[in-house]
Amino acid sequence: MVRLDFNLSEVYIVENLKSDLAGLLNSFQKDKIFVLTDDNSYKYCYPKIKGIDGICDERTFVITAGDDHKNIDVVVELWKKLSNGGADRKSVLINLGGGMPTDLGGFVASTFKRGLKFINIPTTLLSQVDASVGGKTGINFEGFKNEIGVFNIAHAVLIDTSFLDTLDSGNLISGFAEMIKHTLIFSEKSWLELKSFNLKNPNLEGLKKLVADSIAIKEHFVEADPTEKGIRKALNFGHTIGHAIESFALKSGRPLLHGYAVAYGMIAELYLSHLKLGFPLDEVKSISESILSIYGSFAIDKSTDDIIYELTTHDKKNEGGRINVTLLDKPGSVQIDIVCSKEDIIASMDFYRSIK
């Protein structure tokens, strides 16, 4: 396996997952190795690690897939299973799956007995380029996404792009949204390179380089600001309104994959970038049209704009009752903590509806 050259995270691009993971687990007692996965990942991905010494069904916890199961009730159940299974601070929890198991498992490991080590094996494009890297763990609470959590860097992250063969088109496209975000906050050159990738007929070998580049961009911001006090907030571009759209979609019975919501959030926040920072409107429209060509449209009626606005007020970046949004002067030039009013948020939704 190849270790990416990061200071904070031990991230590896693997060629043989079974042998590479077995090597990492040599430093742990075999009866102290636990696995967390969801039912989809258990079916399609668990066979790739089954049979490694120390990994067994008795210490493998399978939870129901879906972000609505990333909650405190599931956390409590997993704490009980770790306790009953004899887990202690010398144990390791392997989180196998997409962003839900890695977020949830990281939080469970970080809080059980004040913290045990965990290894993330992200199996979706979204989790490979975003959820498993950077030390954020968390669960949803009271209808709000990732409301409860801690910062804690994984002991290791193993990236195996062969897992992407198991993804349907929707989940592959969902993960691509975070890659779009990374390029837009990093450089115009990165955006143009990513834009040329053929998602309709994806070359997974070519995607491997883009995944590594995307992880490196995220690590660039995380390393500069590990606990999100400043420039790491650049990674929230598209997420203030994106999370609001995601929560709205869930509450209205039309759940969206995370990346789709972020894509729509980026369109709205690109328009805010024009309003607040002078991002050229023709370029805003061009990028927005490129995004919509991938993600299609999600109907959000104007009558629900007050609900979208209310949901943005719960964003974790807000301070003193002000809505703080990460915006761009241009691709690669980020401004954090730009205060936006209710009128600004509604104007951005009007723009979102205008793009075809």
Beta bridge partners of 13: 2, 159
Contact 175, 128 (CB under 8 A): yes
Q: What is the pLDDT of residue 188?
A: 94
Strands of the 33-38 sheet, one edge to the other: 2-3, 11-13, 156-159, 117-122, 92-97, 33-38, 60-63
Q: What is the pLDDT of residue 314?
A: 84
Task: Please report which confidence band the pLDDT of residue 5 belongs to, taking 50, 70 and 90 as the band edges.
Answer: low
Spatial distance between the Cα atoms of 195 and 120, rounded to a whole number of angstroms: 28
In angstroms, what CA-CA distances link 22 with 27, 104, 161? 10, 23, 18
Q: What is the pLDDT of residue 167?
A: 86
Q: What is the pLDDT of residue 265?
A: 98
> Is 258 in the same domain as 279?
yes
Mean pLDDT value of segment 161-169: 87
> Is 109 in the same domain as 247?
no
> Is 146 in the same domain as 244?
no
205-236 pLDDT, tens per residue? 788 889 989 999 998 998 888 888 899 999 99
- SS3 (DSSP) at 356: coil
CATH number of the domain where residue 145 is located: 3.40.50.1970
**Which of 143, 167, 191 is a domain's end point?**
167
84-139 pLDDT, tens per residue? 999 999 999 999 999 899 999 999 999 999 999 999 999 999 999 987 678 889 99
Q: What is the pLDDT of residue 7?
A: 66
Nearest Cα residue to 122 out of 45, 25, 62: 45
Nearest Cα residue to 185 out of 216, 212, 150: 216
Is the predicted pLDDT of residue 282 greater than 70, yes or no?
yes
Spatial distance between the Cα atoms of 59 and 53, rounded to a whole number of angstroms: 12
> Is 182 in the same domain as 155?
no
Task: Please report which confidence band the pLDDT of residue 189 belongs to, taking 50, 70 and 90 as the band edges.
Answer: very high
Q: How far is CA 142 from the centre of its chain?
A: 20
50-65 pLDDT, tens per residue? 999 999 999 999 999 9
CATH number of the domain where residue 221 is located: 1.20.1090.10
Quote the mean pLDDT of the chain: 93
**Which of 117, 140, 167 is a domain's end point?**
167
Least confident of 35-39, 146-150, 282-286: 146-150
> Is 24 in the same domain as 124?
yes
Query: Rounded to 5 degrees, what are φ and ψ at 229?
Result: -90, -20
Q: What is the pLDDT of residue 3?
A: 77
Mean pLDDT value of segment 253-263: 94
Q: How many domains does the chain have?
A: 2
In the structure encoding, which two tokens stand for residue 78, read together? Answer: 């997993």
Mean pLDDT value of segment 273-291: 97
> Is 157 in the same domain as 181?
no
> Is 136 in the same domain as 202?
no
> Is 265 in the same domain as 291?
yes
- What pTM, to 2 d.p., does this model score? 0.85
Contact 88, 119 (CB under 8 A): no
Q: Which domain holds residue 188?
A: 172-354
Residues with Cβ within 8 Å of residue 186, at least 6 apart in sequence = 217, 220, 332
> Is 44 in the same domain as 179?
no
Burial of 141 (0-12, 13-18, 19+ CB in 10 A): middle
295-337 pLDDT, tens per residue? 999 999 999 999 999 999 987 777 777 999 999 999 999 999 9
**Which of 167, 182, 203 is a domain's end point?**
167
